Structure 1
Amino acid sequence: MLRTSSCDRLRLTPPCGGTATTPRRSESFTLSTFRAPPKCPGGIKKNDELPRPLASPSPPPSELDLLFRGLRAAFFRSDHVSADHPAAGVLAARDSVRLRDELIAAGQWKAREYTRTKLLDGDGFMVMLLCWAPECASPVHAHSCAESGIASNCFLMVLEGSLAETVYGEEAILPDGQSVDARFGRTRIVSAGAVAYINDSMGIHKVANPTNARAVSLHVYAPGWKRAPLFEEMRFEEKFPEVDAGGAELEIDSWGDF
């Protein structure tokens, strides 16, 4: 018995005496045409969870948020307030321009006056925003509460413009204890971005915006107070009522905070 090939050697005899033929392999099963579908590396299986989109990054904290956090931490660490208290470093570390931009909409403006806006009533301290119209000034005042007698401290940071601070020592206070001799005042300019500090052991003072442009300042009082002791500024060479930097007679209702 002869062994024959199942493919190329198999001959089929057609009916009616036709010529025998050899069956051919289907071209669809040759190596040259059949290719398995490519595999997807790391493909997702039926029961796999779809990858979750990355969460959007949180926006950076505002300059005011950083200030408030820093002040809360500073006064938590120490309730003994002085010029080198950690609160001074917190203020100095902040960007005065960014603070101004974030706070300017919260301020109030009045011609020839300065206004106050409370921003935070913290534990042992208070933060206020002061907006100074051109050519206005505060009265001379101390930094203690006139009602409770508790001494306070004031940190001041100028955010826009510049302010003139005039300090009066003990030698400037007249015997009545309610007025000062203007000739003994020492004035310095506090420019934008600078931080100043005062308490009653250093003297009493007044703050003014003697320029024709507006000014903005941030004040931190520690502790806060309800009403400050005021002093009349005596100019012995003058015989007319005390005036502010703009020449208008001072009215106590327009002073605001100090």
Structure 2
Amino acid sequence: MSYVFPPPPQAAVAIAGSDAQFPVRRIFCVGRNYAAHAREMGKDPDRDPPFFFTKPADAVVADGETVAYPPDTENFHYEAELVVAIGTGGRAIAEGDALTHVWGYAIGNDLTRRDLQLKARDQGRPWDWGKAFDRSAVIGPLHPVAQTGHIGTGRISLSVNGVLRQDSDLAKLIWTVPEIIAILSQSIALAPGDLIMTGTPEGVGALVPGDVCVVAIAGLGELHTTIGEPAAEPARHGLPRQPAEGVL
């Protein structure tokens, strides 16, 4: 098969203790899956059906990398999360069978342009510009279930420059990992390589250049990210011209 230009490299996540890589197909994210975080976002934390948004596979950032402060935001946030890696696909997966589809677990940081997200939310628009931008999915090495077992409880925390900002337990997830997989697979067919970011606890907040962000989950270690200076602004071309005065 020939292509009109070389296809992009396969996005992948490291595997703990191995030189192998886990190829990433899609990234699904669960919105407001901790009650206290729902409250701090101004929403009712009642157990409504979960909702999902996505990030592109090439948004993945590895542990230890520097992420430049992104453009078009003045309110750039961290969100500590448990990441679930799907190893066996399926549609309409029964909750009781869901964990057999899990390959492993990792630590994640769902980087968010909060001002853009909230503006879109208030206008009833998709969250893509607030959530699905370049280098917005920091994901640490995957730990195979065969080594760690399944993870449903344990401390999840995040610190910025050594100051604790988020501190909770995975047991406080409103929707558990088996429930998330069962509900998500009712709408789409999950496939090997899919990742699920399961939601963040309360305590989200802003990052600025120079910050060092560390996420920790019991049994999975730590995930480190440094926030760099903004990249140079590219020249803006092709923007729509303002209409002449009096022209609508």
| TM-score, L = length of structure 1 | 0.24
- Which gives a bigger RCO, structure 1 or 2 (Cα 8 Å, sep 6+)? 2
TM-score, structure 2 as length reference? 0.25
Higher strand share: 2
